[in-house]
Every structure is written in structure tokens, then in C-alpha cells.
Amino acid sequence: MVKKYPNTPKSRKKIPSRPGAYNLKNMKGKTVYTGETKNLRRRVAEHNRDEKKKFSYVTITPTPSKAKAKQVEKKRLKSSKPPENKKK
């Protein structure tokens, strides 16, 4: 189940601390970054400190394991090709 959270301190506290995949989105709703993690709340907070990755909201998909989160991330990367995910 995909859930949407605005990029505000109050709403970020509501993000679960569990494995999952996430998309950082700009004001137009375009995905700027896609990732996976074992702790969604902590990882989104880390992105918020990065001035280069400005985002308006985040969509998350909690998963039972990090391995499943990796599968979800891989599928999303193929479909959306976010600009910040390009390999350097």
C-alpha cells in the first residue's frame, strides 16, 4: 500500500520505521529520487538534510523485508527513471 506524506517535520514523524521503498517527489508530482531502506523514517530524514534533493512530498511503500523493498525499488526505477538516480 502506497502512502503519501508532505515534506514537513510533523508528517515525517508519522512515517513508519520499517523497511520499504520510497519516492521523493517535487511540487509537480514528478519523482526526483527512488530508493529502498530498512528504516523509512530515518532515510527520508537523511534526504531532507541534503539541499540538492529538494522534494515536496514522499510516497512510501512499507514492505516486510529489505529484500522485498529492493524488488519494489527496481521496478520503480525501470518505470520512472528519476534524474537523481542516474549513476555517476
Under 8 Å between Cβ of 34 and 12: no
Q: Looking at residue 87, what is its pLDDT?
A: 63
**The pLDDT value given to residue 84:** 86
Q: Which pLDDT belongs to residue 31?
A: 92
- According to the model, what pLDDT value does residue 1 have? 85
The model's pTM = 0.90
Which of 3.30.450.40, 3.40.50.450, 3.40.190.10, 3.40.1440.10 is the CATH number of 3-65? 3.40.1440.10
1-56: per-residue pLDDT in tens? 899 999 988 999 999 999 999 999 999 999 999 999 999 999 999 988 866 667 89
Write phi, then psi, for 33 (nearest 5 degrees): -160, 140
Domain ranges of the chain: 3-65
Environment class of 48 (CB within 10 Å of its CB; exposed 0-12, middle 13-18, buried 19+): middle
